[in-house]
Chains A and B, each alone.
Chain A
Amino acid sequence: MREFTDEQLIAKFQSGDELAFIELVNRYKDRLINFVYGFVKNYSDAEDIVQDTFLKVYKNKHAYREIAKFSTWLYTIAGNLARSQLRKIKRRKTFTMSQLSYDDNEFDPKDMSRSHTEVLDDSYVAQEIRKAIQELSEPFKTIVILRDIQELSYEDMSKILEIPIGTVKSRVNRARLKLQSLLKHLKE
């Protein structure tokens, strides 16, 4: 199975080969959890979303046509699921904010700023960077995660985001400068 491209594997899966599906899952599951975690910042939510992403691929395998890269399709599904999860989290937050004082809210077990330290052995700087990524607006967050966490090429980003490479480049730069400005305190 290893010698096949992603596109060959999904084609095999479309004609009923489940081993091809498993190979695709193994290729992408860890990359996707890092991608999704960047948005939802909670390990178990992120893992659920990655599960859902592959379940959708499994159920809707015929929605894929070979005119796009498989990875582009997969990231799009995962990104859409992460977005709708984020909306739910935001709604939940609005609800609790109206009921609790700010301090109480800080001890909400769902407080996301704490959860990553349980999962990741980050240095202080790394933790501050992860926090700053969360503070970015959603567009910049997407850009930074794709480019600097997932380390996708400008070309792949251009396909996933459906924007010209030139636009990707300028957004990457703006997003990084914004991130850097949020990290000023590290240098003071």
Chain B
Amino acid sequence: MNCEIVQEEFSSFIDNELSVEGKNKMSAHLETCSQCETLFKNLKETLHVMHSLPSLKTSDDFVAKLLTTAHSNQNKRSSFSFLNNDIFKYSGYGIAAGLVLALGFTQLMVPKIERPNITAHNKIHSEVPLVAEMSDSLENTLNDTALNNQLSTQSSQELLLVNQK
């Protein structure tokens, strides 16, 4: 077994994914090759520290804050969708009401747009994948060009999403 092949199997060895034969070969190599042995030992130490890194917790009011926002979004959406007169009681909403007419309210039914130039439909699609087509998933992070592909395929994705609605 050469060193390169041995090192390719380090993680499988550490995670106990090797066959008995594989384990024996690995152990035998580590006993005779000090370079691999050192690397293996260091890797194991690093992983040990990583597995015991102190972990973060969300703040105490996380759930309360979340529910408040969720409910207020919901109320906002329902008042826009019914276009009820209540919203005109709030002076600041006069402009919003004008926007409702100008944009058509489908635009306002969707969440706040953070990225410019990307329609809200696309945003929902790219960040909340429909389970049936999660190809736009974290896997994209494994491929830088996938980000650009994502942008260029968005109009077709939008069609897909509309069809599924």
By a beta-carbon cutoff of 8 Å, the part of chain A in contact with chain B is 22, 25-26, 29-30, 33-34, 37, 43, 46-47, 50-51, 54-60, 63-68, 72-73, 75-77, 79-81, 83-84, 87, 119-123, 125-126, 129-130, 138-139, 142, 144, 148-149, 151, 154, 160-163, 169-173, 176-177, 179-180, 183, 187
Contact B65 A51 (CB under 8 A): yes
Decide yes or no: A180 and B138 within 8 Å by CB, A51-B66, A65-B130 being known contacts.
Answer: no
Contact A76 B144 (CB under 8 A): no
Pick the contact of B43: A46, A87, A180 (CB < 8 A).
Answer: A180
Contact B50 A148 (CB under 8 A): yes
Chain B contacts of A51 at CB under 8 A?
Answer: 62, 65-66, 69
Chain A contacts of B127 at CB under 8 A?
Answer: 56, 77, 80-81, 84
The chain A residue sitting closest to B161, CB to CB, is A63
Contact A180 B42 (CB under 8 A): yes
Chain B contacts of A46 at CB under 8 A?
Answer: 56
By a beta-carbon cutoff of 8 Å, the part of chain B in contact with chain A is 7-12, 15, 17, 39, 42-43, 46-47, 49-51, 53-59, 62-63, 65-67, 69-70, 73, 111, 114-115, 124, 126-132, 134-144, 147
Contact A183 B46 (CB under 8 A): yes
The chain B residue sitting closest to A116, CB to CB, is B56
Pick the contact of A160: B70, B111, B137 (CB < 8 A).
Answer: B137
Contact A75 B10 (CB under 8 A): no
Chain B contacts of A30 at CB under 8 A?
Answer: 55-58
Residue contacts A-B, CB under 8 angstroms, 26 given: A22-B63, A25-B63, A29-B63, A33-B56, A34-B56, A37-B56, A47-B59, A50-B58, A68-B131, A77-B127, A80-B126, A80-B127, A130-B53, A138-B142, A139-B141, A144-B50, A151-B51, A154-B15, A160-B138, A163-B142, A172-B11, A176-B10, A179-B46, A180-B39, A180-B46, A183-B46
